[in-house]
Amino acid sequence: MGLRSIRSVFIAAALTASVRPASAAVSAWYGTWTLDRGRSQLTGTTLRIVRISKGYHFDFGAVRFDVGDDGKFYPTVPGRATSLRAMSDHEWRRIHRDNGKDVDRSVLRVSPDERTLTIDTETILPAGGVRRSKEVELRIGDGAGLAGTWRSAKAGINVADTITLSASSGGAIRWGSPEDGNYFVVVPNGSPSVNQGARAVASVKLAVRTISPTEMRWTETIDGKPFMEGIDMLANDGSLVETTWADQFPAEIQKAVYVRR
């Protein structure tokens, strides 16, 4: 449900708020849901990078920005900035900042055959300490260095492992994820809801429309531009099935199956 799809390569911590919609205001939706990877049909996220004179242009569809490779910080979305320093033709150091504070530091390496991009990241946790992670991106088609089209080698990197849905005041629903912390308080069939939380992105909004007591559809926007679309359904077996696609890549559909914990 949302911005985890931007967790590939460069926006990862720049938009560290994973965002998912809540759903129809009925208790059947409420609770803690855990991803069942074995039953899900997940894909890797796709990112386009173009070499420009001062650095690189990053294209996420609804979000596009330029980052120089000189180690300076460049704005990405409101309140967020990215620094990228070229160490060689195949290695870069990257830092993401949220309102002036570092939120992660990474080393990016392109393999000698230029077919694989490995990203080793240290995420600075709000409560202290760091979480280390590694991403592998595979090149699609031609390109050199960072430039080209990349797809995550790990399916489902853009879905949450656990989500929580709960009732809020005025018929709204609050959605959160333990591994992130940001959330929406959204009224189904009402106005778009603004992202909230410790590392919220004010330009990210969510609109939810109920189709039936067991189905909702949602659109997530960035600066008013559609970014992600989704359909959530309560299945007969008690699971929550979420089908999502990015507006930039509508053919890359994935289905995540969640079970109530």
Reply yes or no on whether the pLDDT at 9 is more than 80.
Answer: no
**173 and 225 part of one domain:** yes
Distance of CA 259 to the CA centre of its chain: 21
**61 and 140 part of one domain:** yes
pLDDT, tens only, 134-175: 999 999 999 999 999 998 887 777 788 888 899 998 889 998
The mean pLDDT of 236-251, rounded to a whole number, is 90
112 Cβ contact partners less than 8 Å away, ≥ 6 residues apart = 90
**30 and 104 part of one domain:** no
Q: How many CB atoms lie within 10 A of CB 177?
A: 23
Are the C-beta atoms of 33 and 240 separated by less than 8 Å?
A: yes
Name the domain boundary from 135, 152, 169.
152
How is residue 232 written in tokens? 């959530």
The mean pLDDT of 189-215, rounded to a whole number, is 89
Segments forming the whole domain that contains residue 65: 46-152
Question: What residues does 231 pair with on adjacent strands?
Answer: 217, 243
**249 and 164 part of one domain:** yes
**178 and 136 part of one domain:** no
Reply yes or no on whether the pLDDT at 108 is more than 80.
Answer: yes
**160 and 38 part of one domain:** yes
**23 and 61 part of one domain:** no
Name the domain boundary from 152, 170, 203.
152
- Pick from 13-17, 120-124, 136-140, 153-157: least confident: 13-17
Output 127 or 70, whichever has higher pLDDT: 70
Q: What is the CATH number of the domain that holds 172?
A: 2.40.128.20
Closest CA to 47 of 64, 31, 33, 32: 64
